[in-house]
C-alpha cells in the first residue's frame, strides 16, 4: 500500500533543442504511462515540467527522458529538483511562457517516412498535399518569428486549423500533437502556377502538374521551396541547361542537382555508405559525389568537374514534383549573381523574370532565406562546405563571459552571436558585393539578435578596413575588436574540435588582410593562449592588377615568375602563362610590376595554385571562384606518385618548386604527374614546418583545404609522422567559418 509521504513533486528544467521536435507530447505520453499528474510547457529557455509520483518512479522517469527523447532533439542540460507535492488532478500541456530566451532553434527538417507515405496514399486526406508535416519533420528555422516555438510565433499563424487538424494537434497520442506547422488541403497553404507576369495559370495539384510538365518540355521553372526559390530545369536536356546558364550569366560554375531516388543517383555516381547516409539524413544536404563516366547528365551541368553536387527531395513539394518529372533536375538557387536567394514571390517575379519561364509559388511566408547546405566526405567523415538548411542555426558550444556579435568576412559571409554556453552561427549569407547582399547581411544581424534576444556588448570584425562587414561593424556604436583573417580561420577549427594551445595553425586560402598590410594566404601560425605568432609563411610575390588577378590565374603566374626571374620573364614566350597575354598587355604588366603599381604583395597559397594551373595551361581566366585550383586538383585524376619537388624554408617558404615544375613542363612530363607532385610538395612543407616547430596539434583551415587530395594526404602524412591533425567538420573550412573564429578571438583577448 502506497504511503502518502512517498509521493513527491519533481520539477525539471530541460534546455537544448527541445522545441519543435515533439518534446512536450513525449513528456505527456511518458507521464501518462507512469500515471503521473502535473504539467509541461514550453518556455523561452526550453521545456519546464512538474510531475507528481513515487520517488522511485520519478528517478526512473528522469532516466527515461534521456533514453527515449525524440530523435531530432538534444538535451544540453536537465535540471531536476524534488519538492513537496501540491496535489495535481491530471497531467496537462499548458500554454507557453515567455521570459529570457535561452532555448535553441531547430533547423528545417526533411520529410519523415510517415509523412512521405501519407502524401502518396490515395486514401489519406493529405494525398498529394505539398505542405504535409508533423512533429518529426517540416519547416522550423525558415518560419520561426520568435521564441517560444508556438504557431502564433511562426508564419503559419495566418492559417487557422480546420477541425480535423485541430483534433490531431490536441490529441497527445497523435504524431501531430502540437506540431506547429500542422495543415492539410482544407486549411493550409496552397500552390499556384504563374506565368512570367504573375498571371495565375493553375492552382493546387494542377499547379504542380503543370510545373512538372513545363520542366519536361524544357522550360525553366522558379519554384518557391522551403527557404527560398530554386531554378529548375531538366538536367538531361543540354539546351535547357545552356539556356539557364545564359540567362543567369553563370558561364561554367557547376549546378546542383536533385534526383528522384537514391537508385537514380547510384546509376550516375559512386555512392559510399557514408555518402548514402548523408543523402538520406534529416539534414538532406547537397552531397558532392564522384560522377560515373556514363552518367546520363548534360555536360553543361558541371563541365569537366568529376564531381556532381546532388541532393534528394527534402520537402513534400519536392517529392511530389520529382515523382511527376521522373528525371534528375538542376535545382540551383533562385537569385541573380552575388545576390541572396529570393524568398518572396513578388520579389522573384522582378529578380527572376528574365530567367524563369514559369513560377510555382505558394502562400506560406518564408521568414528568412536559407540556402541548401553543401557537404562532402573527407577522410571518412562529414566535411561542411556551405552551412545552411538542415544545420543552421544549431550552435557551437563554448563559454563566453559577455554577449558578442561577429560580422564575418566579405566573401561567403556568415555572422555569429554568442551568449553563455553557445555560439550561434548564421546560415550562409554569401558575398557582400551587391546592395541586396548587404541588406541581407544587415537583416540577418537584426533577425538573429531578436530571435535569440542577444544584445552584444562587443563586436568582432575582420582586420580588412574596406570590407562592408567591417565598415558596418564600426557604425554600430559598440566596442570593436578587429581580428586577423587567418587567425580567425584557425580559431574556428580549434573551437569545433575543442582543442587548446599550443597549436600550429596552417591557414591557406586566397586572400586575407595581414598585420603588415600585405595579402596573406600561406600562413603558419603558432597559437598561444591569447594571441598568435606568424612563424612561417610563403615568400611574397606581386599580384599585377590586384583584385583582377583573382579572376586571372595568368596574372598570378606572371607575378610569381617575376619574383624569380625579374624582367626576363617577359621574354619567356614559350610559357603558357606568358602566351596567354597580348604584347600590349605584357608591356602594361611589365611597367606595372617594375614600378610596383597596383601590384600588392601576397603570400597566398591560393594564388600559387592559380599560378601552377596557368603554367600547366589548365586555366588562364577563371569563370568562377576557385576554378583554376579545382581544375588543377582534378587534373591529378588517377596519377599515383609519392614524388615531390624541392623547397627551402628560412623565415619563409621559398617557391623553388616552381623552377622544377618548369623543368618538368619542358621535359614533357604528364600534366597529372606534375599536379600530383605539386600537391605532394605542399603537404611535405606542412610536415617540415611541424617538425621545425615541434608542436603536436596541427589545425588545418582555409579555402585551400576544400581540396580533397590536399587535405586527405596532409592528414595521412601528419599521422604517419606522429602529429595530431585537426580539420573542420560541421563548420566550413572556407570563409563561412570566419565568424565563429572571430567570436573565439574575442573570448581569448586579455
- Let me know: does 698 contact 724? Beta carbons within 8 Å: yes
Do 197 and 292 lie in one domain? The reply is yes
Question: Is residue 2 predicted with pLDDT exceeding 50?
Answer: no
Do 174 and 198 lie in one domain? The reply is no
pLDDT in tens, 342-353: 999 999 999 999
pLDDT in tens, 687-705: 999 999 999 999 999 999 9
Do 77 and 118 lie in one domain? The reply is no
pLDDT at 400: 72
Please, which residues have CB within 8 angstroms of residue 523's CB and are 6 or more apart in sequence?
Answer: 486, 505, 506, 507, 508, 534, 537, 603
- Residue 6 CA to residue 163 CA, distance in Å, equals 42
Residue 67 in grid coordinates: 533514453
pLDDT at 42: 86
Do 460 and 561 lie in one domain? The reply is no
Chain centroid to CA 67: how far?
A: 30
Do 9 and 21 lie in one domain? The reply is yes
**Mean pLDDT confidence for 204-231:** 98
Q: Three-class SS of residue 500?
A: coil
- Residue 179 CA to residue 52 CA, distance in Å, equals 26
- Let me know: does 416 contact 424? Beta carbons within 8 Å: yes
Q: Let me know if residue 43 belongs to a domain.
A: yes
pLDDT at 678: 98
Domain limit, last residue, from 40, 64, 93: 93
Residue 204 in grid coordinates: 493546387
Smallest Cα–Cα separation from 59: which of 6, 3, 22, 15?
6
Question: Is residue 629 predicted with pLDDT exceeding 90?
Answer: yes
pLDDT in tens, 456-512: 999 999 999 999 999 999 999 899 999 999 999 999 999 999 899 999 999 999 999
Residue 738 in grid coordinates: 570566419
Report the DSSP beta bridge partners of residue 664: none
Kindly give the residue spans of alpha helices, DSSP state H, lying in 126-170: 163-170
pTM of the model: 0.91
**Looking at beta carbons, which pairs linking 568-576 to residues 24 or more positions away fall under 8 Å?**
575/615, 575/662, 575/665, 576/614, 576/615, 576/616, 576/617, 576/620
Q: Three-class SS of residue 1?
A: coil
Question: Is the backbone peptide bond immediately before 148 cis, with ω within 30 degrees of 0?
Answer: yes
- Let me know: does 626 contact 610? Beta carbons within 8 Å: no
Do 18 and 121 lie in one domain? The reply is no
Please, which residues have CB within 8 angstroms of residue 350's CB and are 6 or more apart in sequence?
Answer: none
Q: Let me know if residue 628 belongs to a domain.
A: yes
Q: Three-class SS of residue 580?
A: coil
Do 744 and 650 lie in one domain? The reply is no
pLDDT at 265: 98
Q: What angle do CA 448, 489, 497 make, to 5 degrees?
A: 85
Domain limit, last residue, from 93, 121, 156: 93
Residue percentage of the chain with pLDDT more than 90: 83
Question: Is residue 394 predicted with pLDDT exceeding 90?
Answer: no
CATH number at residue 200: 3.90.870.40
Q: Let me know if residue 477 belongs to a domain.
A: yes
Burial of 721: CB neighbours in 10 Å, binned 0-12, 13-18, 19+: middle
pLDDT at 79: 81
Do 140 and 204 lie in one domain? The reply is no
Q: Three-class SS of residue 141?
A: coil
> Dihedral sign, CA of 688, 689, 690, 691?
positive
Residue with cell 621574354: 571
Domain that holds residue 172: 105-187
pLDDT at 102: 59
Question: Is residue 295 predicted with pLDDT exceeding 60?
Answer: yes
Do 570 and 426 lie in one domain? The reply is no
Q: Where are the beta strands (DSSP E) in 84-213?
A: 91-93, 191-194, 200-203
User: What does the buried/exposed string (b/e) look like for 51-83 if buried means 16 or more CB atoms within 10 Å of the residue's CB?
Assistant: bbbbeebbeebeeebeeebbebbebbebeeeee
- Let me know: does 88 contact 36? Beta carbons within 8 Å: no
Q: What angle do CA 367, 370, 371 make, to 5 degrees?
A: 155
- Residue 532 CA to residue 505 CA, distance in Å, equals 9
Place 148 in a pLDDT band, splitting at 50, 70 and 90: confident
Q: Let me know if residue 46 belongs to a domain.
A: yes
pLDDT at 83: 83
Residue with cell 561554367: 252
Place 338 in a pLDDT band, splitting at 50, 70 and 90: confident
Q: Let me know if residue 228 belongs to a domain.
A: yes
Q: Let me know if residue 687 belongs to a domain.
A: no
Question: Is the backbone peptide bond immediately before 393 cis, with ω within 30 degrees of 0?
Answer: yes
Instruction: Give the chain's domain count.
Output: 5
Residue 263 in grid coordinates: 537508385
Residue percentage of the chain with pLDDT more than 70: 98
Place 4 in a pLDDT band, splitting at 50, 70 and 90: very low
Residue 372 in grid coordinates: 541548401
- Residue 174 CA to residue 179 CA, distance in Å, equals 10
SS (H, E, C) 678-716: HHHHHHHHHHHHHHHHCCCEEEEECHHHHCHHHHHHHHH
Between the alpha carbon of residue 107 and those of residues 62, 159, 182, 306, 689, the distances in Å are 26, 22, 17, 31, 40
- Rounded to 5 degrees, φ, ψ at 385 are -110, -40
Place 533 in a pLDDT band, splitting at 50, 70 and 90: very high
- Rounded to 5 degrees, φ, ψ at 683 are -65, -40
Place 441 in a pLDDT band, splitting at 50, 70 and 90: very high
In this structure, the strands spanning 724-726 and 697-701 are parallel
- Let me know: does 192 contact 361? Beta carbons within 8 Å: yes
Question: Is residue 399 predicted with pLDDT exceeding 80?
Answer: no
SS (H, E, C) 20-50: CCCHHHHHHHHHHHCCCEEEEEEECCEEEEE
Residue 691 in grid coordinates: 617538425
Please, which residues have CB within 8 angstroms of residue 77's CB and are 6 or more apart in sequence?
Answer: 13, 14, 15, 16
Residue with cell 527538417: 109
Q: Let me know if residue 518 belongs to a domain.
A: no
For residue 396, what is the DSSP state? E
Question: Is residue 1 predicted with pLDDT exceeding 90?
Answer: no
CATH number at residue 435: 3.30.420.360
Q: In what order do the strands lie in the sheet with 46-54?
A: 74-83, 7-17, 46-54, 37-43, 91-93
User: Mutual orientation of helices 657-667 and 671-693 as an angle, nearest 10°?
Assistant: 160
- Let me know: does 107 contact 141? Beta carbons within 8 Å: yes
pLDDT in tens, 74-113: 787 788 888 888 999 999 988 777 666 656 788 999 999 9
Question: Is residue 18 predicted with pLDDT exceeding 90?
Answer: no
**Mean pLDDT confidence for 400-416:** 93
Report the DSSP beta bridge partners of residue 74: 17
CATH number at residue 149: 3.90.870.30
Report the DSSP beta bridge partners of residue 331: 232
3-class SS shares of the chain: helix, strand, coil, % to 5 = 35, 25, 40
Chain centroid to CA 596: how far?
A: 38
- Residue 539 CA to residue 532 CA, distance in Å, equals 19
Do 213 and 272 lie in one domain? The reply is yes
**Mean pLDDT confidence for 139-143:** 96
Do 564 and 656 lie in one domain? The reply is yes
- Residue 550 CA to residue 545 CA, distance in Å, equals 9
CATH number at residue 587: 1.10.357.160
pLDDT at 100: 61
Residue 171 in grid coordinates: 490529441
Please, which residues have CB within 8 angstroms of residue 709's CB and are 6 or more apart in sequence?
Answer: 633, 636, 676, 679
Domain limit, last residue, from 153, 187, 221: 187
Which H or E element spans position 738? helix 738-748
Q: Let me know if residue 456 belongs to a domain.
A: yes
Smallest Cα–Cα separation from 41: which of 90, 92, 81, 77?
92
Identify the residue with better confidence: 288 or 251. Answer: 288
Residue with cell 513515487: 54
User: Mutual orientation of helices 485-497 and 738-748 as an angle, nearest 10°?
Assistant: 90
Mean pLDDT of the chain: 94
Do 203 and 334 lie in one domain? The reply is yes
Amino acid at each position: 500500500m502506497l504511503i502518502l509521504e512517498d509521493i513527491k513533486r519533481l520539477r525539471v528544467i530541460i534546455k537544448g533543442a527541445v522545441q519543435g521536435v515533439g518534446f512536450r507530447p513525449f513528456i505527456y505520453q511518458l507521464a501518462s504511462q507512469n500515471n503521473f499528474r502535473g504539467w509541461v510547457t514550453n518556455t523561452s529557455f526550453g521545456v519546464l515540467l512538474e510531475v507528481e509520483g513515487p520517488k522511485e518512479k520519478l528517478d526512473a522517469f528522469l532516466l527515461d527522458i534521456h533514453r527515449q527523447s525524440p530523435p531530432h532533439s538534444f538535451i544540453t542540460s536537465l535540471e531536476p529538483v524534488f519538492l513537496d507535492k501540491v496535489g495535481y488532478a491530471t497531467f496537462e500541456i499548458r500554454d507557453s511562457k515567455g521570459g529570457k530566451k535561452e532555448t535553441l532553434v531547430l533547423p528545417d527538417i526533411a520529410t519523415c517516412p510517415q509523412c512521405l507515405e501519407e502524401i502518396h496514399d490515395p486514401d489519406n486526406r493529405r494525398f498529394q498535399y505539398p505542405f504535409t508535416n508533423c512533429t518529426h519533420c517540416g519547416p522550423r528555422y525558415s518560419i520561426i518569428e520568435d521564441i517560444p516555438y508556438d504557431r502564433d510565433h511562426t508564419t503559419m499563424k495566418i492559417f487557422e486549423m480546420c477541425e480535423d487538424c485541430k483534433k490531431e494537434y490536441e490529441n497527445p497520442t497523435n504524431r501531430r500533437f502540437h506540431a506547429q506547422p500542422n495543415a492539410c488541403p482544407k486549411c493550409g497553404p496552397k500552390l499556384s502556377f504563374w506565368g512570367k507576369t504573375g498571371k495565375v495559370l493553375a492552382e493546387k495539384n494542377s499547379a504542380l502538374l503543370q510545373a512538372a510538365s513545363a520542366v519536361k518540355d524544357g522550360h525553366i521553372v522558379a519554384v518557391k521551396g522551403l527557404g527560398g526559390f530554386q531554378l529548375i530545369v531538366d538536367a538531361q536536356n543540354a539546351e535547357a541547361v545552356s539556356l539557364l546558364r545564359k540567362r543567369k550569366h553563370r558561364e561554367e560554375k557547376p549546378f546542383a542537382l536533385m534526383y528522384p531516388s537514391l537508385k537514380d543517383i547510384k546509376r550516375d555516381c559512386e555512392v559510399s555508405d557514408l555518402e548514402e547516409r548523408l543523402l538520406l539524413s534529416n539534414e538532406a544536404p547537397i552531397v558532392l559525389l564522384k560522377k560515373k563516366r556514363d552518367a546520363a547528365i548534360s555536360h553543361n551541368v558541371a563541365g569537366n568537374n568529376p564531381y556532381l553536387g546532388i541532393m534528394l527531395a527534402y520537402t513534400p513539394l519536392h517529392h511530389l514534383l520529382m515523382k511527376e518529372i521522373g528525371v534528375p533536375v538542376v535545382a540551383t538557387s533562385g537569385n541573380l549573381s552575388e545576390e541572396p536567394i529570393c524568398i518572396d514571390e513578388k520579389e522573384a517575379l522582378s529578380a527572376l523574370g528574365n530567367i524563369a519561364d514559369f513560377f510555382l509559388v505558394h502562400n506560406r511566408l518564408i521568414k528568412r532565406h536559407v540556402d541548401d547546405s553543401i557537404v562532402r566526405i573527407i577522410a571518412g567523415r562529414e566535411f561542411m562546405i556551405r552551412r545552411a538548411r538542415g544545420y543552421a542555426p544549431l550552435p557551437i558550444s563554448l563559454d563566453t563571459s559577455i554577449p558578442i556579435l561577429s560580422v564575418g568576412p566579405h566573401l561567403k559571409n556568415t555572422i555569429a552571436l554568442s551568449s553563455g554556453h553557445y555560439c550561434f552561427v548564421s546560415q550562409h549569407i554569401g558575398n557582400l558585393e551587391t546592395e541586396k547582399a548587404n541588406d541581407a547581411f544587415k537583416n540577418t544581424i537584426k533577425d538573429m539578435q531578436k530571435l535569440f534576444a542577444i544584445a552584444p556588448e562587443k563586436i568582432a570584425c575582420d582586420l580588412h578596413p574596406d570590407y562592408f562587414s567591417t565598415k558596418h561593424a564600426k557604425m554600430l556604436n559598440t566596442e570593436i575588436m578587429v581580428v586577423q583573417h587567418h587567425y580567425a580561420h584557425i580559431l574556428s577549427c580549434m573551437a569545433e574540435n575543442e582543442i587548446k594551445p599550443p597549436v600550429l595553425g596552417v591557414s591557406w586560402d586566397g586572400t586575407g588582410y595581414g598585420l603588415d598590410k600585405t595579402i596573406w594566404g600561406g600562413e603558419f601560425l603558432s597559437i598561444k593562449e591569447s594571441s598568435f605568432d606568424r612563424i612561417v609563411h610563403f615568400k611574397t610575390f606581386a599580384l599585377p592588377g590586384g583584385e583582377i588577378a583573382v579572376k586571372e590565374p595568368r596574372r598570378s603566374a606572371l607575378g610569381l615568375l617575376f619574383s624569380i626571374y625579374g624582367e626576363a620573364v617577359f621574354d619567356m614566350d614559350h610559357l603558357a602563362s606568358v602566351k596567354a597575354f597580348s604584347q600590349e598587355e605584357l608591356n602594361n604588366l611589365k611597367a606595372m610590376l617594375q614600378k610596383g603599381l597596383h601590384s600588392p604583395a601576397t603570400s597566398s597559397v591560393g594564388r600559387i595554385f592559380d599560378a601552377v594551373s596557368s603554367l600547366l595551361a589548365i586555366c588562364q581566366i577563371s569563370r568562377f571562384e576557385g576554378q583554376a585550383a579545382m581544375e588543377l586538383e582534378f587534373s591529378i585524376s588517377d596519377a599515383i606518385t609519392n614524388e615531390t619537388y624541392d623547397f627551402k624554408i628560412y623565415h619563409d617558404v621559398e617557391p623553388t618548386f616552381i623552377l622544377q615544375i618548369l623543368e618538368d613542363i619542358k621535359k614533357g612530363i604528364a600534366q597529372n604527374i606534375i599536379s600530383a607532385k605539386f600537391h605532394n610538395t605542399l603537404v611535405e612543407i606542412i610536415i617540415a614546418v611541424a617538425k621545425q616547430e615541434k608542436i603536436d596539434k596541427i589545425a588545418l583551415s582555409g579555402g585551400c583545404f576544400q581540396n580533397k587530395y590536399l587535405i586527405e594526404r596532409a592528414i595521412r602524412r601528419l599521422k604517419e609522422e606522429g602529429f595530431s591533425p585537426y580539420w573542420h567538420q560541421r563548420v566550413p573550412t572556407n570563409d563561412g567559418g570566419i565568424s565563429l573564429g572571430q567570436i573565439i578571438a574575442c573570448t581569448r583577448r586579455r
